[in-house]
């Protein structure tokens, strides 16, 4: 009855080069930004954090890529290459320029936990909305768990065949093989088409008219 689907692009690692930072602290970070570069850190996997410096212009362009936080980064430094995911980006409060980035090391053979956006499509052709229903798109992000190369950039809910009264729960979302919902996601109502069917409205009006004539 419910027509849901996901959209997933072929996952390719993003390869970037970085310089090891031997000096930490606010002063060193400020100096890096003055040179138009970006201070960052790689942490996790029970290894010591590594402070790095990224090419500012290249990274500013990179942050415009959709679904960046679901992608595998391979960060090449003088110490070797690190497999990581982008966890956080800090922006300047006035200029919105990137001022810091956090990467978390991952084992590509182990599942990761991510949050991806949920989108609705075919709003204009939805059966329920054409009948006068109202869309309540309540939950716009979903927590997923899976290997980094199969995690989708987003989940898409197709409204075309949904009618009044239909509810799309987390358990209705169609996921790629090897990807599962995070905790407490299955029972969430992501989208609902509310309202009354036209026949119900006609019956209600008829009953009201009959009552008025008595």
Q: Which of 182, 114, 162, 188 is nearest to 4 (CA)?
A: 162
pLDDT of residue 206: 41
User: Cβ(98)–Cβ(104) under 8 Å?
Assistant: no
pLDDT of residue 214: 55
CA distance 110 to 87: 17
pLDDT of residue 4: 37
The structure tokens 């990224």 sit at: 54
CA-angle at 13, arms to 179 and 117, nearest 5°:
45
Burial 171-206 (b: 16+ CB within 10 A, else e): ebbebeeebebeeebeebebbbbebeeeeeeeeeee
pLDDT of residue 11: 56
- Residue 110 tokens read as 């182990």
pLDDT of residue 200: 54
Q: Where are the domains of the chain?
A: 14-105, 112-202
pLDDT of residue 77: 96
CB atoms within 10 A of CB 41: 17
For domain 112-202, give its CATH number from 3.30.200.20, 2.170.120.20, 1.10.490.10, 3.40.228.10.
2.170.120.20
pLDDT of residue 197: 80
CATH hierarchy code of domain 14-105: 2.40.240.10
Task: Note the pTM of the prediction, 2 decimals.
Answer: 0.79
The rounded average pLDDT for each run of 10 residues, N- to C-terminus, in the chain (214 residues) is: 36 89 83 93 95 95 91 95 96 94 96 96 95 96 96 95 96 94 96 83 46 51
């Amino acid at each position: 009855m419910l027509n849901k689907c996901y959209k997933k692009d072929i996952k390719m690692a993003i390869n970037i080069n970085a310089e090891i930072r031997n000096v930490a602290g606010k002063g060193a970070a400020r100096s890096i930004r003055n040179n138009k570069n970006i201070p960052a850190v790689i942490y996790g996997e029970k290894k010591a954090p590594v402070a790095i410096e990224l090419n500012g212009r290249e990274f500013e362009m990179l942050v415009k890529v959709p679904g960046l936080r679901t992608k595998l980064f391979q960060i090449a430094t003088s110490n070797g290459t690190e497999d990581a995911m982008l966890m956080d980006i800090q922006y300047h409060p006035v200029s919105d320029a990137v001022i810091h980035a956090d990467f978390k090391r991952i084992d590509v053979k182990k599942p990761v936990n991510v949050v991806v956006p949920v989108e609705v499509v075919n709003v204009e052709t939805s059966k329920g909305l054409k009948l006068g229903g109202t869309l309540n798109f309540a939950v716009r992000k979903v927590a997923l768990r899976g290997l980094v190369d199969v995690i989708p950039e987003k989940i898409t809910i197709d409204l075309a065949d949904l009618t009044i009264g239909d509810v799309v729960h987390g358990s209705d979302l169609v996921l790629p093989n090897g990807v599962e919902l995070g905790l407490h996601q299955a029972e969430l109502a992501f989208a609902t088409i509310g309202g009354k069917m036209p026949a119900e409205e006609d019956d209600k009006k008829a009953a009201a008219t009959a009552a008025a004539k008595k």
